[in-house]
Structure 1
Amino acid sequence: MAYGKYILSAVIYEQLQNIRGVGPAIVENTIKSRNINGQFESMDELNNVSYIGMATIEAMRPNITIS
Structure 2
Amino acid sequence: MKAQTSHRRRTFCLCAAMVLAFLLTAAASTAAATDLVNINTADAEQLQSLPGIGPAIAQRIVEYRTQNGPFKQKEDIQNVQGIGPKKYEAIKDLITVE
Tell me the residue number matched to 2:92.
Answer: 61
Cα separation, 2, equivalents of 1:21 and 1:52: 9
Runs of 4 or more above 2 Å deviation: none
RMSD over aligned CA atoms reads 1.2
Q: Report if aligned partners of 1:25, 1:51 keep a CA contact under 8 Å in 2.
A: no
How many residue pairs match? The answer is 65
Counterpart pick for 1:12 among 38, 43, 57: 43
What is the TM-score of this pair, normalised by structure 1? 0.85
* Superposed displacement of residue 15, structure 1: 0.6
Q: Report if aligned partners of 1:17, 1:23 keep a CA contact under 8 Å in 2.
A: yes
> Which structure has more RCO (C-alpha within 8 Å, separation ≥ 6)?
1
Gaps of 5+ in 1: none
Identity of aligned residues (%): 32
The structure that has the greater radius of gyration is 2
Is 1:51 the counterpart of 2:51 in the alignment?
A: no
Give the helix-richer structure, 1 or 2.
2
What is the TM-score of this pair, normalised by structure 2? 0.61
Tell me the residue number matched to 1:31.
Answer: 62
